[in-house]
Chains A and B, each alone.
Chain A
Amino acid sequence: MLKVVYNGEMDPRQGKTVTGKVIPELLANDPKIVYLDADLMSCIGTLKLAKGNDRVIECGIAEANMVGVAAGLAAAGFKPICHSFGIFSSRRAFDQAFLSAGYAKNDITILGSDAGVSAAMNGGTHMPFEDMALYSALPGATVIDVSDATCLDSVLRQCPDRPGVKYIRFSRKDYAKIYDEGSELQIGKAVTLREGDDVVIFACGLLLHEALQAAETLAKEHGISAAVVDCFTVKPIDREAVAAWAKKCGAAVIAENHNRFGGLYSAVSQVLLEEALVPAGCVAVEDEFGEVGPQKYLAQRFGLTAEHIVSVAKDVIARKRRGQEDAGTNA
């Protein structure tokens, strides 16, 4: 079942509500699941598990060791889920994720909380704009930027049984409600949230909400029909959906809470270049480090807003029209 219920409202379930509910369920239902954390259980609602379950492993503040231990558990047939903040789950433990897990074919799931600007008050030292780039470069990895609470619930249940290294980045705080509770999203399949003809917005993570708001503004204020596609699976990107929507609309905007290098913009650009070359632009972090502040301020500061999406959409549509005019002149 997959049902879109977006109406602009926030979901009462935060990211940490979902992890706090689903991880215990996975542990209860599958004796092969092990859950490892590096002193951040309280951040994702799982501290209640810390005592009394020998498949819940507190590793202390030692992320590289945690990922290595998880890989060792996977070698014995367990299905480990590790969590830390996205910066540690990616940068700090990347060699371990790459070699001990990926290269050695020890299949593990890695959660990176506080995606991009949602790291907010922890500031620039804690703000991952590069985590998807790292995991995208790991052969065979699955990279997911969670688009809402239901999406997080759904991918968390699927990832332990999926081969390879799975990296899930998410906000432990608020999400707009996009999918009806209980919806199942298929990893690797993008979801069309809104049909359109003039431009397509490919978005992931927290930028989905901005993309949907932008599409509404484009329709109401500019008479532009914008499609919105949820690319929560950044790798493997849904090539078919990306190519089909790019061809249909003839212009594309890619929006993500990540550096413009190595994330969704890179993944979609490859498909456009190879299968559907259309005018495209991105709303992403312009190769900068993060900084401290409220999430809303940071979204403005880095241009990760509906307003910015509207502006880039108008730009790519203008480029598309110029192309069409040039084609007409040449004919």
Chain B
Amino acid sequence: MQEKESKQVKALATRIRLGILDAIHSVGSGHIGGSLSIADVLAVLYGREMRYYPQDPKWEGRDRLVTSKGHCGPAVYATLAVKGFFPYEELLTMNKPGTRLPSHTDRNKTPGIDMTTGSLGQGTSLAAGMALSEKLKGSDCRVFCIVGDGEAQEGQCWEAFEFAAAKKLSNLVVLLDWNKRQLDGYLDDCLPMGDFVAKFRAFGFDTVKVNGNDVDELAEAIARTRKGGDRPYAIVMDTVKGAGIPEVEQIPMNHSIAVDDMQYAKWTADLKAQLKELEG
């Protein structure tokens, strides 16, 4: 990316982080760690890579996103709100009675959400089915699927990956959020998953590893997947759970935490200062 675009995407990532805080602070607590770790990839996807129209969220020609780690709805809602799929203020309704923004993403409730997820692992098969659909229809739409590193402990993920490789779903891009922590603590203490890059390669994916909180590295790796071919793509995103808010990063168990008024004020002030620097 040119410097100007890079700054724009970084600014979008910062706005997404602000949206995550607005939504989670409004309801009191939520899945903040894993939402923050994917803010940068969402900024790259919605800032430059994916085709979509916020005014026509069901447009046939759009690229699709499946947030298989469905509990990170706050990050996706923040992205969609910033991009104008629905009014920004709606973020403050998250998880409140009658909301269109439930904790886990739901295709029947939220404009711009392409698939319902929540039972970990299931989004991978859904994404494979969606990618296969586009192939059957002869369309060039792509399907991006964000999978958690803890989620990859679910066997269904690997069924879906072997399927995607066998059916040559080169329009499928799996974005693995390797943030190294899960609800009960560090992945390596709960159930170590070994070398994700080697695993994806063994499963037949075109695989690269990038700094998943670096929009430039992400942009380059994702742009590479446009070339198609006969293999699905995996991008192992080396991320920090809670990325972008140092205090959250430093909380070891930051999967789902409360955000009080003091924290909210401090963290949003910091992010707004960054934004000012990026946007001038």
- B147 near A: Cβ within 8 Å? no
Judge whether B108 and A68 touch: CB under 8 Å.
no
Q: Within B226-240, which residues are at the interface with A (CB < 8 Å)?
A: none
Judge whether A64 and B125 touch: CB under 8 Å.
yes
Chain B neighbourhood of A65, CB < 8 A? 125, 128, 156, 159-160, 163
Chain A neighbourhood of B134, CB < 8 A? 76
Chain B neighbourhood of A67, CB < 8 A? 125
Q: How many residues of A contact B (CB 8 A)?
A: 30
- A96 near B: Cβ within 8 Å? yes
8 Å CB contact of B133 from A66, A72, A105: A72
> How many CB-defined contacts (below 8 Å) exist between A and B?
99
8 Å CB contact of B127 from A59, A72, A104: A72
- A75 near B: Cβ within 8 Å? yes
Chain A neighbourhood of B159, CB < 8 A? 62, 64-65
- B116 near A: Cβ within 8 Å? yes
Judge whether B160 and A99 touch: CB under 8 Å.
no
Judge whether A75 and B128 touch: CB under 8 Å.
no
- A182 near B: Cβ within 8 Å? no
Judge whether B126 and A78 touch: CB under 8 Å.
no
Chain B neighbourhood of A69, CB < 8 A? 125-126, 128-129, 132, 160, 163
- B122 near A: Cβ within 8 Å? yes
Judge whether A71 and B163 touch: CB under 8 Å.
no
- Tell me the dominant secondary structure on chain A's binding face: helix
- A57 near B: Cβ within 8 Å? yes
A106 to chain B, nearest CB (A): 8
* Known contacts A65-B160, A99-B122, A103-B116: A71-B129 contact under CB 8 Å: yes
Judge whether B128 and A68 touch: CB under 8 Å.
yes
Q: Considering the chains assembled together, what is the distance between the CA atoms of A64 and B114 in angstroms?
A: 20
Residue with the greatest number of chain B CB neighbours at <10 A, chosen from A55, A77, A95, A100: A100
Q: Considering the chains assembled together, what is the distance between the CA atoms of A77 and B136 in angstroms?
A: 11
Chain A neighbourhood of B125, CB < 8 A? 64-69, 71-72, 96, 100
Judge whether B129 and A72 touch: CB under 8 Å.
yes
* Known contacts A69-B163, A99-B122, A105-B108: A76-B130 contact under CB 8 Å: yes
Judge whether A104 and B115 touch: CB under 8 Å.
yes
- Indicate with 1 or 0, residue by residue over A289-326, a CB within 8 angstroms of chain B CB atoms: 00000000000000000000000000000000000000
Q: Considering the chains assembled together, what is the distance between the CA atoms of A74 and B127 in angstroms?
A: 12
Q: Considering the chains assembled together, what is the distance between the CA atoms of A182 and B145 in angstroms?
A: 45
Residue of A nearest to B134 (CB): A76
B201 to chain A, nearest CB (A): 20
Q: Within B107-156, which residues are at the interface with A (CB < 8 Å)?
A: 107-108, 114-116, 118-119, 122, 124-134, 136-137, 155-156
Could you list which residues of chain B lie within 8 angstroms of chain A, going by C-beta atoms? 106-108, 114-116, 118-119, 122, 124-134, 136-137, 155-156, 159-160, 162-163, 166-167
Beyond A76-B134, A100-B119, A105-B108, 17 additional pairs, beta carbon < 8 A: A55-B136, A57-B167, A60-B162, A64-B125, A64-B155, A65-B159, A66-B125, A68-B128, A69-B128, A70-B129, A73-B130, A76-B133, A78-B136, A96-B125, A103-B116, A104-B126, A105-B116
